[in-house]
Amino acid sequence: MGLRNIIGKRLGLGLVRRRKPFSTATCDGDGNGNGNAKSINLYSAINQALHIALETDNRAFVFGEDVSFGGVFRCTTGLSDRFGKARVFNTPLCEQGIVGFGIGLAAMGNRAIAEIQFADYIYPAFDQIVNEAAKFRYRSGNQFNCGGLTIRAPYGAVGHGGHYHSQSPEAFFCHVPGIKVVIPRSPRQAKGLLLSCIRDPNPVVFFEPKWLYRLAVEEVPEHDYMLPLSEAEVIRQGSDITLVGWGAQLSVMEQACNEAEKDGISCELIDLKTLLPWDKETVEASVRKTGRVLISHEAPVTGGFGAEISASIVERCFLRLEAPVARVCGLDTPFPLVFEPFYMPTKNKILDAIKATVNY
């Protein structure tokens, strides 16, 4: 379904690659599997995943600011009533304490699912994530770990959030060996990826595109399923240029692809899904085919994760590139309020960059 229809082995960097399952869930490539599917929005898909996580593992706990009554976006609605206040509970307004508590809970062998109410407020917890969670396994020589920690946070523009409720901080965490960073684009992806993150033996930061909480609707299987991490997905085949993105930006990029097609430009669109560790091979294979690449994200262009993708592609595909790597991203300013439409990497900005790159 197009996006337009849904508006054991420890590595030196402290990650464990092999996922040890904590349930009998299937691990699907697309989340279809078997069983019934229901048309739901993204926040409902998150809610389903949390219900399943708590139901299938009595070591799982959900906590954060206001989660016991459902949270500001209603993602945790009904959890406290069903599983009790001992497993789903509010915390003080202290992000450092929320993550620090989650690290300790996970270190004791539990599934700690912490919610940061807005990604903009994850910064007080930065030290706990970067210096504690990410290094816990490595510094102990794999004797101890807090791999059961998953940190959920809604990120990105919402149309009226201004500079304290619209930021996209994913690049800060992609610089940190020892954690994973995952961002879904749709309800089906959100459910399957979140369950994989919760059951992965490494700490994960899971950013949820709040713009799509109610806007994105698609058929989501009701059963327990997981989607593989660190595997990008080619969601649109093309031959002239490769577009790479994640999260809410994918729907904007697909609109640009549709417009480019009217001018005879064939665009291949890739959803990265996992930013750390990211799937270089899939992107490289696409760029070797098309000879051109454009990366787009909401975060400011300077130091954004698009810069890392660009550098890697130049290293791997330099002799196959027909044009410089293009980036269409947020501006290097604090996130504005009334000027948000000028800040955002819009369909028209992407379309102009597609044409300029193809005609280079």
**Residues involved in catalysis:** 95, 165
Q: How far is the first Cα of the chain from the last one, in angstroms, to the nearest whole number?
A: 32
- Mind giving me the DSSP string for 86-124? TTEEE--S-HHHHHHHHHHHHHTT-EEEEE-S-GGG-GG
CA-angle at 141, arms to 139 and 146, nearest 5°? 65
Strand, coil or helix: 238: coil
Question: Considering Cα of 344, then 348, then 352, then 357, what sign does the dihedral take?
Answer: positive
Question: Considering Cα of 144, then 226, then 244, then 316, what sign does the dihedral take?
Answer: positive
Alpha carbon distance 182, 242 (integer Å): 21
CB atoms within 10 A of CB 171: 20
Residue 173 has what DSSP assignment? H
Query: Which amino acid belongs to residue 75?
Result: C
Rounded to the nearest 10°, the torsion over CA 203, 271, 26, 217 is 110
Alpha carbon distance 347, 329 (integer Å): 11
